[in-house]
Amino acid sequence: MRISFKSRSKRFALLAILTLVVLALRAFWWEPSSLRVVHRTITIAPWHAEHSGLRVAVLSDFHVGSPFLKLNALQKIVTTTNAQNPDLVLLLGDFIRGRRGESVIPPEPIADALASLRAPAGVISVLGNHDWWYNGPRVRDALESRGIRVLDNEAIRVHYHGQTFWLCGLQDLWTRGDGVAASLAKVTDSEPVLMMMHNPDVFPRVPDRVSLTIAGHTHGGQVNLPVIGRPVVPSEFGQRYAYGFIEENGKKLFVTSGLGTSIIPVRFRVTPEIVMLQLEAK
């Protein structure tokens, strides 16, 4: 029996509608409400051989209060991170959803949940642009009063397996400016340096002295379309530093896609993630 053109058109239309519904459910519900753990090994230099195997948990862009990341989801993130047994936890900012003194969830209960993170080398943070748009000093006080160190153009020594490396934490680029030189000025010897920041746009100004730079902010664009890529990335460099491991002129950068959503609660082919970096000596 022959199928009429009209009947075929109806079937095609139904299939197209069904496809759009499935894609919409994925982008506006399933993926932004998901959570994955990404394991990545990166070889860096300089780096002590004794530091090889250092396991660094990287968490960024929580935006707690966004549709798919309330306090119960934040607690799940904390529990999942602790189950990975990290040596060091880095929090890269944008804890808050909101700006100009208004937030769906204030920083104190967010800090209460994050205070349960455990790592022998410490839980260290920087602040993001949304934290400063809201109230940077209040966010910092909430975290530090619960034992989470917040770095603002500072450098601290971290001890691991009998050796020392430096961890530099930069202020937010958009709200506070470029802090690379100010942070590195506090490194007083030739030990290896890791640099953590919220916004990866600073990376071209990071010197070779830094073994690895770690950043967030971009959310991986939140949407990654086949062929087209990431149409919206909050960066002056477009997709250049949008996500993942980037190496330029021998310098190394890792950018996480983060955990929450900003502006539009959508993620498509950019799943919220906890990143476990294992650092090895070259």
Instruction: Give dist(CA 71, CA 59) in Å, integer.
Output: 15
Query: What pLDDT does 195 receive?
Result: 98
Q: 85: which 2 tokens?
A: 């047994």
- Residue range 146-170, pLDDT digits in tens: 999 999 999 999 998 888 999 999 9
The number of CA neighbours under 13 Å toward the Cβ of 249 is 8
- Residue range 11-36, pLDDT digits in tens: 767 766 766 777 667 878 889 999 99
Q: What is the pTM of this model?
A: 0.93
CATH class as words, domain 31-281? alpha beta
| Domains of the chain by residue range | 31-281
Please say whether the beta carbons of 210 and 194 come within 8 A. Answer: yes
